[in-house]
């Protein structure tokens, strides 16, 4: 008899713990950020996680890596909108 178990990922975890659940390498890179790079990465990753939660898909490791890379280069790369329908809430 096969046992089926469900795992619900808790969205109330701190950001660094959620990153560890996505990819430990990116979590380690994120933990080393500071200043403006940390602010940019935090905002980008939070937007990505909200969008993934809203669409009920798993976060993309490559997207998190790109967000951190862009933050290290001082680039704030994400779509900005003033229409609440498209905001990753």
pTM: 0.74
Specify the pLDDT at position 4.
58
Tokens of 24: 């430990």
Q: Does the residue 6 lie in any domain?
A: no
For residue 13, the 8-state DSSP code is S
- From CA 84, how far away is CA 76, in angstroms rounded? 20
Specify the pLDDT at position 26.
95
Specify the pLDDT at position 48.
92
Taking 70 as the pLDDT cut, the residues of the chain under it are 1-11, 78-89
- Number of folded domains that form the chain: 1
Specify the pLDDT at position 76.
82
Q: Does the residue 29 lie in any domain?
A: yes
Q: Does the residue 8 lie in any domain?
A: no
Q: Which domain holds residue 68?
A: 15-72
Q: Does the residue 35 lie in any domain?
A: yes
């Amino acid at each position: 008899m096969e046992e089926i178990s469900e795992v619900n990922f808790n969205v109330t975890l701190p950001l660094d713990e959620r990153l560890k659940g996505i990819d430990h390498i990116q979590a380690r890179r994120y933990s080393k950020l500071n200043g403006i790079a940390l602010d940019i990465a935090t905002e980008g990753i939070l937007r990505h996680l909200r969008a993934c939660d809203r669409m009920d898909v798993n976060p993309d490791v490559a997207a998190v890596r790109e967000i951190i890379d862009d933050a290290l280069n001082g680039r704030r790369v994400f779509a900005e909108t003033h229409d609440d329908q498209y905001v990753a809430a």
